[in-house]
Chain A
Amino acid sequence: NAGVTQTPKFRILKIGQSMTLQCTQDMNHNYMYWYRQDPGMGLKLIYYSVGAGITDKGEVPNGYNVSRSTTEDFPLRLELAAPSQTSVYFCASSRGQGAPETQYFGPGTRLLVL
């Protein structure tokens, strides 16, 4: 059982480049989330989705875009990368049945923007 998988594990981007962070879950969870974790800080929510075709902004959405065309996949798109986007990115999923369910996290993607 793979759970939540993220690719790539690590990436270096130049300022102004774009990239997509991939996230896939095989637990048939309705809810999916993207967080970023800056050094020495807690996680901050970027975007979340409550089902295929439905997405919403979190605390820190600027500079990012998401889409949710299937239940399994929730890619995060960075357009025009900036040094401030250097961070570790975590994807998570949960069943999302009414009350907030426990989130299951992927292993993270470390992004360095130079």
Chain B
Amino acid sequence: AQTVTQSQPEMSVQEAETVTLSCTYDTSESDYYLFWYKQPPSRQMILVIRQEAYKQQNATENRFSVNFQKAAKSFSLKISDSQLGDAAMYFCATNTGNQFYFGTGTSLTVIP
């Protein structure tokens, strides 16, 4: 089975500042995807960003970007210009075929 490790159980950031959430993973696959999901207090899981492992270019979605280091098996999420609505649990995930594996999450607090 794959493993996904998020070493920061909690993080905080000042509103309008930038924060980076860490994620490392272990896989024997050569073709896989990486995901960041956001889970606000409503518990709904929302996709933030997706990266295809064979692509060198880091994915970006508006204020969200990733730093994908394939050799190091690292996939960090950068949130720029943090907003109060970014406060949530963030989960990193990867897949083996049709099976997906999630980390234990990082709780992000945004300080006004």
Contact = CB atoms under 8 A, between A and B. Distances in A.
Chain B binds chain A? yes
Interface of A: 31, 33, 35, 40-45, 48, 50, 56, 58-59, 88, 90, 92, 96, 99-100, 102-105, 107-108
Nearest to A100: B95
Contacts, number: 57
Given A42-B91, A99-B33, A58 B99 contact: yes
B91 A48 contact: no
Given A33-B100, A45-B100, 18 more contacts: A40-B104, A40-B105, A42-B4, A42-B102, A42-B103, A43-B93, A43-B100, A59-B1, A59-B101, A99-B52, A100-B33, A100-B97, A100-B100, A103-B45, A105-B46, A107-B42, A108-B43, A108-B44
B56 interface: no
Contact of A103 (B4, B100, B101): B100
Contact of A107 (B35, B44, B98, B99): B44
Given A41-B104, A42-B103, A102-B50, A48 B43 contact: no
A31 to B, nearest CB: 7
B47 A103 contact: yes
B104 A42 contact: yes
Interface of B: 1, 4, 33, 35, 42-47, 50, 52, 91, 93, 95, 97-105
Contacts of A105: 44-46
SS of B interface (majority): strand
B32 to A, nearest CB: 8
B42 A48 contact: no
A102 B100 CA distance: 11
B103 to A, nearest CB: 5
A44 B102 contact: yes
B107 to A, nearest CB: 10
Contacts of A45: 99-101
